Structure 1
Amino acid sequence: MHPLFWALLLLTLFAALLRQDWIYFLVYIVGGIWLISHWWVRRSLRRLTVHRTFLHRAFVGDEIDVTLHFRNQSWLPIPWLQIREQVPLDLKSIDEYNIVLSVGGKSQGEHHYKLLAKRRGYYAVGPLVLRTGDLFGFTYADWRETNSINVTIYPQVLPLYKVGLPSRSPFGNLSSRQRLFEDPTRLSGVRAYAVGDSLRRIHWKASAHEDNLLVKKFQPAIALDTLIVLDLNRRAYPDKSAFGDSEWAIVVAASLASYAIGQRQPVGLLTNGLDAPTQQQAAPLPIRQGQGHLMAILAALARIQMHEFEQEFADWLPRRINDMPWGTTIILVLPRLDEATLWALHQAYRRGSNVVVLICSPQANFQNIRAQAERLGVKVHRSVWESELRALEGMGQ
């Protein structure tokens, strides 16, 4: 029972004992205000609707504009309304999302605020909490949103040179010195005719101009399909830099996917990481092309988490890549490369895949393992940028 009820009851007893009419009058006035306030506050809150509008997807560093729309469908004004928004720390642009405003009867309005995408991830904004009351402090009413709204923050996408890779790395249909086939639509020049050259390759106009037989030279291209494999097993990363290294690996994977799609290459994603919303191992994304598929890959990389995985990567990988078509480029983004994994990749190379490994953590024996990998047909690059890793580590503190 409300304390005011007991106070009014006590005043009524005093009025009866002292036979003072003014006390009765005070009880009637205060009691009437209390009853009206109780009815007013609850009715007005029931007739109030509130909802948000904002973009549910953004990239790291973006600001997200959020608009709160509120509409009072009752004739009764709301003297004060407190709106408290639950915002994850990694999306906050201010310390508290807490405002107080008044809403007139049969009126509507808006309130604007911003979210700042500080780190990639899959976040829940809300639930929204409303509180209102009367001007005398006699009664309060609360309302809490039943569901939160999910926001996807995509990982950062960088040019290849910013992740430590040459822009002419041999994967996808990108140019490469490793000639698996030549693309007849990509003319790179001419050269002198040699015995055995096909007559279809003769450049007749250039030959006539130079008065010597010249044949067309085409840019080399390799695999038509690209599969990005991302290792997010917590046990594979160094203890002191696991967060920074794994975040950098995700940035590298996102950048590779973006570049491949930009070159109109089909690309897929395979990872042993954990899908945050489902808490299950992330489902593989098939090899496809197009901007829509790129956004699906980026969304998966936004949701992914590093976790403890009992099975070694060298044991987990083979049966997932055994059925890759001949000529597929397999790009592995790993914290380290060991001999067991290297021999598994050598088997993929022997089946006709073009295998590229990107190491995203410092590895003491990198030069030795790289030389061994070259002999086994596996190309190895290192992508460790200390300034980027320091920035990512700072975000995790």
Structure 2
Amino acid sequence: MLAAMKNMIWVLLAVFALSLAFLFSSPYAAFSIYAFLFLVGMANVSSRAWLAGLDCTRTISRTSIRQGDSVDISVTIHNKRGWPIPWIFMEDLYPGHCVKVGDNSRLAVLMPGRSISFDYTLIFPKRGYHRIGPLIMETGDLFGLQKRFRTGQQQEYVSVMPTIAYIDTFNVASKRPQGPVKASNKIYEDPTRLAGIREYELGDPMNRIDWKASARTGELFTKIYEPSSVQGGTLILDLHADSYVSEEAARRQELAITTAASMAYLLQISGEQLGLLTNGMDAAELAQYEVEAHRELSREDIEQKASLEKESTRISPLQVPTLKSPIQAQKIIDNLARIIPGYGLDASRLLMEEFRGLPRDATLIPIVPYVSEQFALTLAEMKLSGFSVTVFLIRDKKGYDEAAALLAQHQINVFHIMEESDLHEIAPQKIGHY
């Protein structure tokens, strides 16, 4: 925008000077101004034409990697027009935290119908969904009067997996006298173990009605029994942006994601069912693989437009249904690689909205940055509804004692994860029961 204004100012000055030349009857001055305007016009036309005839493609060696792995990138630019480009400078954009090996830019002369390419390597040290591109192309006229910039239309994304803390011994199931559950989404209840009561619903059998509670309240209530076994778990990951407001927000978010990924892997290798429910957002929903080719007169403007992403309109939770599958953990970890903080439901409202669709034979495993009184009451309601609950509190040294006290009132166990190494010290027998 600033460059366009400068060009307009030069044109206005030239027109003003031309008017003065006519006013003072100076043919040499008028001829000079005509020549200058002709050169400016030729510069504008030639720079536009050179950029219009370019095609660019990019190939990457891998799209899914672990932290610290490298990706090889090759960029090719083809001049499909019938005229040469005297000079062109190309630079491929990449995330600033990556380590680059080789040159991601090139200055060249591009003849008609010919192609040029360059290769480089990126090392990705951080989890996330990282964008490579677009390509920025810069050229100008032979007189140096004007430069033009254009972006390519292709972008690539690399998914970097979260860290997984490996634990040798793990068992999330709380075994009951009747033995294990044979079907992951069907609950076999133990009528000798009363878990709580709930309001009567149409279709409840008469032998399930709690007549004492119904007589006291004047409303019908139905008994809830504990399942004969609690197997596996549903990970409830709180990644609401407002839940992480301290100076360590990014570190705590990554530790929460590491905890979720580690639990998913460990549930998988122990042969349990598992699932994920989170209020975070999937960065893939914001990704743009094909973008409009922007054209600008300044590098600042083109870089600003190249950095734009879509805005997410998602308010519903991100979920991987709880079930037993040989690829279930990989599905969850793939989602965790792309996840970013969301702005939808907080943890309490998330559970209240979604718990009816969660299997009660799987332990609820909330992974949260803090425990409020409201959230503790929500978990207590989940337990009364028949769920087994175990909480993972992420790096909250000041709030841990209060959280433990709030949850102890409802006989809910809590693990405090200050560092990744704490995941190796989990007592397996405490997962799934108090």
TM-score tier after normalising by the smaller chain length: 0.5 to 0.7
Aligned pair partner of 2:390 in 347, 356, 359: 356
* Distance in structure 1 (CA, Å) of the matches to 2:331 and 2:68: 20
* 1:56-205 correspondence runs (5 A): 56-74=63-81, 76-91=83-98, 93=100, 97-133=104-140, 137=144, 140-145=147-152, 147=153, 149-161=155-167, 167-171=168-172, 181-182=179-180
Distance change >3 Å, CA 66–CA 83, structure 1 → 2: same
| Partner of residue 49, structure 1 | 55
Distance in 1 separating the partners of 2:359 and 2:408: 22
Structure 2 residue identity aligned to 1:149 = Q
User: 2:332 maps to which residue?
Assistant: 297
* 127 and 362 in structure 1: CA distance in 2 versus 1, 3 angstrom threshold: same
What is the aligned partner in structure 2 of residue 392 from structure 1? none
User: Which deviates more from structure 2 when the two are superposed, residues 252-261 or residues 151-160?
Assistant: 151-160
Q: Deviations over 1:155-197 (max 9, x none)?
A: 4231244xxxxx434326xxx677772599xxxxxxxxxxxxx
TM, length-normalised to structure 2: 0.60
Could you tell me how far apart the structure 2 residues matched to 1:101 and 1:291 are? Answer: 51
TM-superposed CA distance for 1:257, in Å, is 1.9
Change in Cα spacing, 1:178 to 1:341, as seen in structure 2 (3 Å) is farther
State the AA in 1 paired with 2:165.
P
Shift of 1:237: 4.3
Q: Which has the larger radius of gyration?
A: 1
Q: Deviations over 1:174-226 (max 9, x none)?
A: xx677772599xxxxxxxxxxxxxxxxxxxxxxxxxxxxxxxxxxxx954452
Counterpart in the other structure of 2:378? 344
1:252-289 per-residue CA deviation (whole Å, 9 max, x = no partner) reads 11222233334454322111234453153443222245
Residues 358, 381 of structure 1: 8 Å contact kept:
yes
SS in 2 for 1:181: coil
What letter is aligned with 1:49? D
Q: What are the equivalent positions in structure 2 for 1:251-262 lying under 5 Å apart?
A: 251-262=258-269
Aligned residue number for residue 213 of structure 2: none
Distance in 2, matches of 1:339 and 1:140, equals: 61
- 2:282 counterpart of 1:248: no
Q: Secondary structure at the match of 1:284?
A: strand
Q: Following the alignment from structure 2 to structure 1, what is the Cα–Cα distance between the partners of residues 324 and 181? A: 19
Tell me which residue corresponds to 2:366.
332
Distance 2:142 2:398 in 1: 70
SS at match of 1:109: strand
Partner Cα separation in structure 1 for residue 44 and residue 244 of structure 2 = 59
Match of 1:393 in 2: none
Q: Work out the CA distance in 2 between the residues paired with 1:180 and 1:93.
A: 58
Unaligned runs of 5+ in 1: 18-22, 162-166, 185-220, 389-397
Indicate yes or no: 2:281 matched with 1:283: no
Distance 2:374 2:44 in 1: 72
Q: What corresponds to 2:425 in structure 1? A: none
Tell me the residue number matched to 1:207: none
Identical-pair percentage: 22
Amino acid at match of 2:412: V
Contact 1:152 1:302 in 2 (8 A): no
CA 378–95 in structure 1, closer or farther in 2 if over 3 Å, else same? farther
Cα distance change of structure 1 residues 47 and 269 upon mapping to structure 2, 3 Å threshold: same
Q: Is the 8 A contact 1:152 1:303 kept in 2?
A: no
The answer to whether the Cα contact below 8 Å between 1:60 and 1:156 also exists between their aligned partners in 2 is yes
Q: CA RMSD in A?
A: 4.6
